[in-house]
């Protein structure tokens, strides 16, 4: 090595990596390692001992060591010598304990460094045989107690690679400590110890870490005397710190160490000895990425699990003690192991099953209200043990399972709260359901109910019930437990929020209740009978007692029909119905009799349906009723079904009873007295029709009687669950019925129809909808209305206009003369503009005005409309009147979001411009100007008179800018300051929002408003409106790609966006350009512009501290790889920056897709980008097949090292889907 060439983080030597692969690496740990944690070095220890000697008094009160003696002792250069002398002084003075107290105090670590930069957290990753000359025990926590060797007898046994050897003893066992020179001589001159060291240096590649000048003597002992041969093979290594530029010293050190067969690996140390931590951490990552250790250790774990033994389990526990990947893999193996029981007690004793290890939900950084709920890796193992024990019970295993279970489900935090982890709760439920039946207690079911109160999803709890509990209890016909499971399955909660649509909901998501009970309800009924239904009926009682409006016929229109699968009340009723249908009717008699006399109608309905289903056995319950079921609210459907399906078997007495009930029907009080007889007759006729099949003459006679009074067809809305509509949407007549009437009858029906109060379901709105559809279907039929000019209700007048507007092209040629004459009649009538005739707020009916505007807008698109000049004057007259007399609905915006698109004035102005554009060619031929002069003058007048200008007008001006520019470029340019008045915020915002939302990519308008300064203003004006910002950025990006903007010009819009530095805007720039390319591949010139912008954004957002906003931007930039066919060197540098942050953005979804495209051409770059991403924590199982393809390409393209690193990196993170590919390329 050239003098001075020392790295801060040296490269790990290949020989060390090979030693890890061959399981022959031994690491000697010296005092410098613990010194990184704040422990005292030999020099500090010796100084403290000298001071302790001077402070400690003899029995006669004199100091153990005088000041003069202390000065002499401090002058010694040999720290071991100082320590030896101090010990002798203190022991001689009877203060031996003081010596060990000082040693213990000196070996204490800095608590902060233990938490943040603990080097001993990194060392286990070296996968080595560890030997330490340190007496502190900071590394001991990484080993199970049986794997810590420090006694003499431990050095006689065969070497165990899974142990930590304290060859100088440890502080907690003072008798084992080697501190003084006599102790060193004694230890190193023992034959057994010499054999121990000889074996290490003969069989292993040794790496010394943390050895300094004060430990040279130790190295002399270890290496000088106990090398296996006199040859100078550089088989061993020492990691040594040097100062910057200390290359000459390095040369001397190499001369010294090389003679002992030790190669020096130098690094630059910093002032606080922290660099060693950085080196070890970097090497740890390298070893994990480059060696086969994980793969081989996984194989060892597989053998341990396949054939468990006490020794194998002990070794496995050491494997997983410090190694998360191995720990995860062991528990993954144990999830499916055929014999997991031998592991249970050991893992329990070692604390892996302690309840405080149950992970708490964790807040997602940067996302308020979002959490991650971690999965506890031991859960699958516990489930497997319980399941295996169920098949082959063991009292001891059962006892231990219950003990572990109780520890977990009874655990409470210091604040007395449960840990709300739905994965753990669901797993414990599976364990409960796998216990011997006599050990499943009511407390266990209470735990299940408590678990259902989780803040998270209940799918996993549902799985425990559906996959473990029900199959077991059904197979064993365990009635008692089945009833308890049904009880918890239908647990519910009340939602007090008035905004929710369903007040009482199940705690288990409705979909999963359906999955749980699928094909099982009938089996449950066969085992539990009606008792299963009674469990659920009690819940209905609880709910209806609290709120009698629940379980109504709106959501449950028919007991016998399938209902909304996502509603709790529907699920309950379906369960009860199925159970009752499959139960013995004789056993149902008592419960059905109770239900039919309950106050709430849902119970009566269930009872009547059940009677109908088991009619032959239960019919007397129905016919012995002491109330009339026909007139009781909400029972009509179930009674109707019973009458319809069973009337053929009615006895004469039963027919008479039914007729009596029907006779008690009368019209409601709110019906007009003049119509009451008709309503009553219609209702009775309909009910009689349900029993007409009895063939009874009395029924027929009554039916005919009411038929004369009510000759029309009687229809009853019978909603099916698939077509239930919200109240107010149903029409009292069908389209066919309305079209069957004459024009006069239609007008009369529309004018006379009145909505009934109450819960009927028919409405004027529903009627208007059907009327509009009729007009659109058969417009010729409705010209009669235009001729008669009746005064229709405004809702139906609007429906008429919209019906004509919706006539399909080619379906019918409209008579526009009729239409325009009728509209002109309307708008010229003062009646039309009276407040009483419309909405009192505006003095007209807004919906009718909108309907007229929409009709004209659609009409002008028809050639036959434009081809008739006589229509033009009528249209212009109508539009002029509407523009003059239609009052604005919005005066100011005041920062509020306003939907102007459906305002009356908006409709009028849009119709005016649509008409103007359509007649422009004709106008230009006749007058030389495209725009109708009268309309242009109206717009000019309105534009220049603040009192006449409205928000709607400004919005339409902006939205119609391209059309206005086409009609009169000079007018637009001359009035641009008024169209977009930058001194009037409300009108400017309204105009610009209209423009940016509706004009698309008009390049002329873009240039016009860019040069006018409106785009610059808008960049900073709409931070509160993401929709406008997106459209704004889209326009600027389009302009940039088309060459309208120069990124090197600080005054360009793209530069202004970058300088404004709004993270959302920058993200939209990235997303919009990516989408432009996705929709249509960009030209080469555009790609060059993208590349220029890319570099500028990377340089800006990769500088300084990278916060979450910058991360998202850099992540998004990775998407731009899809714009280019090749990754050049410049792009590659940018992609490397983004790859470290891809996990923070949407680009992670396509990361591997993008790279697969480039894997064959540039495999080295692709491999490095994947490694950068994985090093940043960007692991995923999403699109794993694509990653597998890429890794295979890397192996076949000569990039084995990178492919190995990727495989190891993913395996280390817990993703094993690359393991087989790695094995094929390394073990075959």
In tens, the pLDDT along 680-698 reads 888 899 999 999 999 999 9
- Residue 893: per-residue pLDDT: 38
Q: Cα–Cα distance between 41 and 116 in angstroms, integer?
A: 21
Half-sphere exposure of 1212 (CA within 13 A, CB side): 23
Instruction: Inform me whether the pLDDT recorded for 894 exceeds 60.
Output: no
pLDDT at 418: 93
Predicted local distance difference test score (pLDDT) of residue 737: 87
Mean pLDDT over the full length of the chain: 88
Percent of the chain past pLDDT 90, that is, above it, reads 60
**216 or 444: which leads in pLDDT:** 444
Do 1079 and 1072 form a contact (C-beta atoms < 8 A)? no
Q: What is the DSSP letter of 358?
A: S
pLDDT score at 807: 87
pLDDT, tens digit, for every residue of 1069-1106? 999 999 999 999 999 999 999 999 999 999 999 998 99
pLDDT digits (tens, 9 = 90+) for 223-234: 555 555 555 567
Could you tell me what percentage of the chain is helix, strand and coil, using 3-state DSSP and rounding each to the nearest 5? 65, 5, 35
For residue 663, the number of C-alpha atoms closer than 13 Å in the C-beta half-sphere is 10
Distance CA 1166, CA 106 (A): 50
* Structure letter (DSSP) for residue 801: H
Greatest mean pLDDT among 102-116, 219-233, 791-805, 1062-1076 lies in: 1062-1076
Instruction: Report the share of the chain in percent with pLDDT over 70.
Output: 93
Q: Over 50: is that where the pLDDT of 728 sits?
A: no
Residue 581 has pLDDT above 80, yes or no: yes
As given in the structure block, the two tokens for residue 673 are: 């007295």
What global pTM score does this model have?
0.75
Asked whether the beta carbons of 204 and 24 are under 8 A apart, the reply is: yes
Q: Which residues of 537-556 are buried (b: 16+ CB within 10 A; e: fewer)?
A: bebbeebbeeeeebbbbebb
Q: Which residue has the higher pLDDT, 1000 or 252?
A: 252
Mean pLDDT along residues 1048-1066:
95
What is the pLDDT, as a whole number, of residue 1197? 95
Which SS3 state, helix, strand or coil, does residue 280 take?
A: helix
Residue 377 has pLDDT above 70, yes or no: yes
pLDDT, position 227: 53
- Residue 561 is predicted with a pLDDT of 85
Residue 971 Ramachandran class (φ > 0 left, ψ -120 to 50 alpha, else beta): alpha
Mean predicted confidence (pLDDT) in 510-532? 92
Alpha-carbon distance 557 to 575, whole Å?
Answer: 16
Domain locations along the chain? 14-39+125-291, 43-106, 293-326, 650-714, 729-812
pLDDT, tens digit, 9 for 90 and up, residues 1193-1227: 999 999 999 999 999 999 988 899 999 999 999 98
Mean pLDDT value across residues 283-293: 88
Per-residue confidence at 1179, pLDDT binned at 50, 70, 90?
Answer: confident
Residue 722 pLDDT greater than 50, yes or no: no
Q: Given the DSSP bridges, would you call strands 492-494 and 164-166 parallel, antiparallel or unpaired?
A: unpaired
Residue 395 pLDDT class (50, 70, 90 cuts): very high
Look at residue 779 and tell me whether its pLDDT is greater than 70.
yes
Place of tokens 């007991």: 559
Closest CA relative to residue 1210, chosen from 15, 439, 298, 321: 298
Q: Say how many C-beta atoms besides its own lie within 10 A of residue 145's C-beta.
A: 7
Instruction: Say what the pLDDT of residue 811 is.
Output: 59
Question: Looking up tokens 């109780």, which residue turns up?
Answer: 406
Highest mean predicted confidence (pLDDT) among 190-199, 778-787, 1001-1010, 1117-1126: 1117-1126
Give the pLDDT confidence score for residue 715 in this predicted structure: 61
What tens digit of pLDDT does each residue of 821-854 get? 999 999 898 888 775 444 444 445 788 888 898 8
CATH architecture of 14-39+125-291: 3-Layer(aba) Sandwich (3.40)
Q: Give pLDDT, residue 891.
A: 40
Instruction: List, as one string, the DSSP characters of 894-955.
Output: TT-----TTSHHHHHHHHHHHHHHHHHHHHHHHHS-SS-HHHHHHHHHHHH-TTT--HHHHH
Q: Is the pLDDT of residue 892 over 60?
A: no
Instruction: Compute the half-sphere exposure of residue 198: CA atoms within 13 Å on the CB side of its CA.
Output: 13
pLDDT at 757: 54
Query: Which residue bears the tokens 């190995």?
Result: 1204
Which tokens go with 591? 């419960």
């Amino acid at each position: 090595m050239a003098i001075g060439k020392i790295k801060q983080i040296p490269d790990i030597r290949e020989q060390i990596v090979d030693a890890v692969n061959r399981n022959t690496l031994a690491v000697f740990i010296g005092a410098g390692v613990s010194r990184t944690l704040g422990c005292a070095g030999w020099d500090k220890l010796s100084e403290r001992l000298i001071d302790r000697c001077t402070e400690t008094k003899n029995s006669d009160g004199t100091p153990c060591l005088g000041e003069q003696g202390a000065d002499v002792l401090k002058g010694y250069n040999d720290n071991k010598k100082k320590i030896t002398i101090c010990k002798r002084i203190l022991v001689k003075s009877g203060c031996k304990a003081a010596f060990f107290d000082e040693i213990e105090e000196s070996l204490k670590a800095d608590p902060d460094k233990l938490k943040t930069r603990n080097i001993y957290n990194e060392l286990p990753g070296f996968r080595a045989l560890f030997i330490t000359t340190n007496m502190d025990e900071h590394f001991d926590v990484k080993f199970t107690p049986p794997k810590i060797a420090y006694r003499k007898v431990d050095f006689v046994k065969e070497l165990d690679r899974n142990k930590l050897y304290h060859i100088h003893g440890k502080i907690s066992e003072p008798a084992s400590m080697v501190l003084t020179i006599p102790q060193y001589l004694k230890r190193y001159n023992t034959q057994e110890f010499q054999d121990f060291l000889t074996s290490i240096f003969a069989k292993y590649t040794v790496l010394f870490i943390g050895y300094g000048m004060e430990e040279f003597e130790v190295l002399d002992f270890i290496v000088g005397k106990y090398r296996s041969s006199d040859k100078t093979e550089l088989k061993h290594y020492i990691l040594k710190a040097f100062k910057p530029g200390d290359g000459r010293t390095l040369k001397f050190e190499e001369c010294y160490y090389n003679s002992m067969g030790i190669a020096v690996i130098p690094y630059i140390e910093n002032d606080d000895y922290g660099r060693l931590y950085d080196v070890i951490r970097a090497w740890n990552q390298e070893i994990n990425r480059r060696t086969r250790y994980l793969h081989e250790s996984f194989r060892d774990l597989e053998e341990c699990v396949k054939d468990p033994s006490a020794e194998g389990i002990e070794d496995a526990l050491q494997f997983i003690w410090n190694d998360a990947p191995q720990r995860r893999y062991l528990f993954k193996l144990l999830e499916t192991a055929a014999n997991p029981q031998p592991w249970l007690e050991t893992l329990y004793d070692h604390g892996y099953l302690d309840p405080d290890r149950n992970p708490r939900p964790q807040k997602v950084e940067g996302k308020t209200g979002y959490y991650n709920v971690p999965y506890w890796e031991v859960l699958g193992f516990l489930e497997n043990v319980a399941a295996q024990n169920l098949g082959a019970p063991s009292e001891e295993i059962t006892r231990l399972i219950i003990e572990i279970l109780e520890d977990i489900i009874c655990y409470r935090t210091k604040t007395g709260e449960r840990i709300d982890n739905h994965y753990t709760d669901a797993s414990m439920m599976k364990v409960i359901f796998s216990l011997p039946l006599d050990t499943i207690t009511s407390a266990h079911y209470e735990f299940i109910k408590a678990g259902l109160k989780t803040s998270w999803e209940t799918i996993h709890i549902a799985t425990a019930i559906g996959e473990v509990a029900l199959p077991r209890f059904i197979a064993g016909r365990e009635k008692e437990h089945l009833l308890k499971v049904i009880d918890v399955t239908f647990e519910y909660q009340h939602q007090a929020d008035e905004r929710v649509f369903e007040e009482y909901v199940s705690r288990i998501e409705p979909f999963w209740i359906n999955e749980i009970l699928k094909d099982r309800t009938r089996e449950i009924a066969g085992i539990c009978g009606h008792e299963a239904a009674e469990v659920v009926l009690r819940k209905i009682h609880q709910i209806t007692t609290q709120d009698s409006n629940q379980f109504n016929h709106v959501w449950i229109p028919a007991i016998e029909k399938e209902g909304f699968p996502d509603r709790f009340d529907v699920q309950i009723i379906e369960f009860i119905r199925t159970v009752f249908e499959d139960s013995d009717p004789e056993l149902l008699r008592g419960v059905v009799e109770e239900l039919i006399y309950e106050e709430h109608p849902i119970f009566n309905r269930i009872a009547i349906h059940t009677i109908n289903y088991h009619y032959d056995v239960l019919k007397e319950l129905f016919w012995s009723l002491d109330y009339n079921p026909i007139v009781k609210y909400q029972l009509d459907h179930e009674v109707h079904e019973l009458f319809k399906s069973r009337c053929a078997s009615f006895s004469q007495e039963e027919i008479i009873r039914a007729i009596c009930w029907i006779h008690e029907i009368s019209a409601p009080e709110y019906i007009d007295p003049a119509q009451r007889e008709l309503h009553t007759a219609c209702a009775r006729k309909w009910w009689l029709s349900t029993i007409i099949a009895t063939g009874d003459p009395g029924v027929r006679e009554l039916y005919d009687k009411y038929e004369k009074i009510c000759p029309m067809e009687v229809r009853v809305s019978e909603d099916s669950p698939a077509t239930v509509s919200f109240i107010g949407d149903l029409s009292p007549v069908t389209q066919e019925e309305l079209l069957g009437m004459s024009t006069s009858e239609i007008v009369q029906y529309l004018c006379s129809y009145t909505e009934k109060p109450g819960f009927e379901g028919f409405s004027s709105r529903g009627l208007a909808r059907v009327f509009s559809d009729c007009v659109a279907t058969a417009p010729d039929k409705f010209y009669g209305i235009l001729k008669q000019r009746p005064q229709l209700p405004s809702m139906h007048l609007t429906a008429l206009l919209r019906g004509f507007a919706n006539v399909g092209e080619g379906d019918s040629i409209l008579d526009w003369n009729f239409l325009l004459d009728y509209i002109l009649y309307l708008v010229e009538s003062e009646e039309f503009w009276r407040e009483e005739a419309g909405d009192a707020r505006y003095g007209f009916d807004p919906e009718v005005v909108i309907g007229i505007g929409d009709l004209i807008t659609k009409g002008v698109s028809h050639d036959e409309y434009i081809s008739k000049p006589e229509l033009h004057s009528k249209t212009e007259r109508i539009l002029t009147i509407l523009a003059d007399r239609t009052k604005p609905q919005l005066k100011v915006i005041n920062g509020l979001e306003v939907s102007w698109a459906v305002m009356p004035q908006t409709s009028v102005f849009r119709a005016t411009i649509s008409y103007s554009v359509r007649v422009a060619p004709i106008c230009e031929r006749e007058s030389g100007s495209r725009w109708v002069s009268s309309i242009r003058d109206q717009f000019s007048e309105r534009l220049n008179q603040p009192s006449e200008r409205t928000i709607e007008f400004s919005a339409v001006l902006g939205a119609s800018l391209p059309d206005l520019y086409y009609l009169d470029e000079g007018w637009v340019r001359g009035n641009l300051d008024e169209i977009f008045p930058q001194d009037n915020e409300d009108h400017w915002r309204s105009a610009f929002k209209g423009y940016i939302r509706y004009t698309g990519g008009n390049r002329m308008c873009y240039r016009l408003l860019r040069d006018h300064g409106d785009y610059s203003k808008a960049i900073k004006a709409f931070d509160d409106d993401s929709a406008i910002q997106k459209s704004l950025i889209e326009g600027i990006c389009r302009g940039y790609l088309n060459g309208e903007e120069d990124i090197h010009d600080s005054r360009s819009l793209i530069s202004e966006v970058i300088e404004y530095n709004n993270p959302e805007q920058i993200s939209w720039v990235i997303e919009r350009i990516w989408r432009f390319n996705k929709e249509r591949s960009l030209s080469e010139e555009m790609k060059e512009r993208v590349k220029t912008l890319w570099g500028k954004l990377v340089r800006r957002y990769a500088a300084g501290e990278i916060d979450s906003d910058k991360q998202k931007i850099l992540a998004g930039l990775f998407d731009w790889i899809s714009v280019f066919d090749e990754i050049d060197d410049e792009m590659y540098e940018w992609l490397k920056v983004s790859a470290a942050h891809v996990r923070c953005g949407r680009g992670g979804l396509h990361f591997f897709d993008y790279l697969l495209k480039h894997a064959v051409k540039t495999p080295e770059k692709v491999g490095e980008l994947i490694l950068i991403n994985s090093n940043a924590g960007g692991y995923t199982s999403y699109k794993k097949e694509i990653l597998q393809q890429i890794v295979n390409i890397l192996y076949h393209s000569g990039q084995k090292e990178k492919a190995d690193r990727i495989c190891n990196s993913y395996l280390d993170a817990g993703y094993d889907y690359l393991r087989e590919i790695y094995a094929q390329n390394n073990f075959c």
